[in-house]
Copies of this chain bind each other. A is one copy, B any other.
Amino acid sequence: MNQPEQHEPLISYETLLEQFKDLLKRSKPPLKFTKQREIILSTLYSHSGHYTPEELYQIIKEENPDLKTGIATVYRTLSLLENAGIVTSISFGTQGKKYELGVKAHHDHLICTKCGKILEFFDVAIERKQARIAKEFGFKMEDHSLKIFGICPECQKIEKEREKHKIESKKIESLQQKDKEH
């Protein structure tokens, strides 16, 4: 029921691209389809995951050194894509937002507070419950976000390792202490 792995995008890149072009054409003042906008979309598509504007900007710069793309354009395009519902964002404390392609099925997030890793899951019962609660309060639900913060299995291991080392160095210290006493 809960899928542990990153989902594959549900549609092909071609379809997504068509969708995007359509959207641009249909805007009130028609918008233009530019190299920068395509690259940002394709980068989001090929790199499944969650990125800050800065991270995305770095990937794009690295993979497309010819076309100079400014960080401002990344911000502007992400904002455009978010309003269009093509990407969704998830926000952290003061440290800004991470974006991901939103053509995947709705899902919620598990976030590791040590390494920042994000896992996705989906639970029908919780979804239903949320809709019911919104209704109960007379809210017209637009969106919802469920984030579970914790320490991922990998970081838990690292923590345990560290503690082991601490204990060992304490042992060594106390042994040395005893040596001194003699």
Contacts and interface: CB of A to CB of B under 8 A. Distances in A.
Contact of A93 (B97, B129, B136, B156): B97
A interface, how many residues as a size bin?
A: 35 or more
Contacts of A113: 142
Given A91-B91, A110-B137, A144-B148, 18 more contacts: A91-B92, A125-B129, A126-B126, A130-B148, A134-B148, A138-B152, A138-B153, A139-B148, A139-B151, A140-B150, A141-B150, A142-B150, A143-B149, A144-B146, A144-B149, A145-B145, A145-B149, A146-B147
Interface of A: 2, 4, 89, 91-94, 96-97, 110, 112-113, 119, 121, 123, 125-126, 129-130, 133-134, 136-153, 156
A166 to B, nearest CB: 17
Contacts of A148: 130, 133-134, 139, 141, 143-144
A156 to B, nearest CB: 6
A96 B97 contact: no
A121 B148 CA distance: 17
B130 A146 contact: yes
Given A96-B94, A97-B93, A112-B139, A147 B149 contact: no
- What 4 pairs between A and B have smallest CB-CB spacing? A138-B153, A139-B150, A141-B150, A144-B148
